[in-house]
Amino acid sequence: MSETSGQKTHLVMPDEEALARVSGHIRTGKQLLEAQVSNADELRDIKARYRKWREYGIQLLKNIFSDDSVAERLQGGGGIVYTGPDFEGRYQQFRSDFLQDITTLESIEETLPIMPRKPRDTSPKPMQQEAPGPVTQNFHGHVSNVIGSNSGQASQGSTTQAGSSGGGKMWQLFLALLGIAGVIAAAYIAYRMHWM
């Protein structure tokens, strides 16, 4: 296996998907190889389909692995080189080259389960900050947190529940109401000054 940037050749997609794609391409090749060829025209046609099948297989391997080293095993097969005049000799050479490519793919298929997977990302993840609670801003821009549970109880207007919750909550309610009144008063004064 070759190495890229200090890393060995590895799968860049899930091994189940890679296995399914390679196996499917092998089946397609075997079906193509079984096509009936009885003359030179049919041989010419099947050779063209074989070249497309082979080029697709090379690109498939390039997409499956992190570098081209595995694809080069199929690419380095040399293709069909026999150009003799007799039909039978050219057909047998075609079948021999085709079978060699299928055997190469089957060998790659067998090694897929033990091929290294894509390295895990071990870089630290950014810290997530907790979202702040509800806030209100008064007229002067000072920001303060308002306790929702206390304001929710205050809106009910039940003196019985307010009395049972203790003087502390009543005091917080008073301060909250006082702050709201201050904001309203300041807004009214600013309005009057604007229109005077």
* Cβ-based neighbour number of residue 155 at 10 Å: 8
CA distances from 83 to 14, 24, 92 (A): 41, 30, 11
pTM over 0.75: no
Write down the pLDDT at residue 124.
54
Structure tokens at 91: 């057909």
Whats the size of the chain, residue-wise? 196
What is the enclosing helix (H) or strand (E) of 189?
Answer: helix 167-195
User: For the chain, what percent of residues have pLDDT higher than 70?
Assistant: 61
Write down the pLDDT at residue 157.
46
Over residues 20-63, the pLDDT tens digits come to: 999 999 999 999 999 999 999 999 999 999 999 999 999 999 99
- Pseudo-torsion of CA 33, 34, 35, 38, nearest 10°? 100
In DSSP notation, 105-137 reads HHHHHHHGGGSPPPPP--SPPPPPPPPP--EEE
Give which of 53, 55, 65 is closest to 108, Cα–Cα: 65
Over residues 100-149, the pLDDT tens digits come to: 999 999 999 999 998 888 765 445 555 555 444 444 444 344 434 433 44
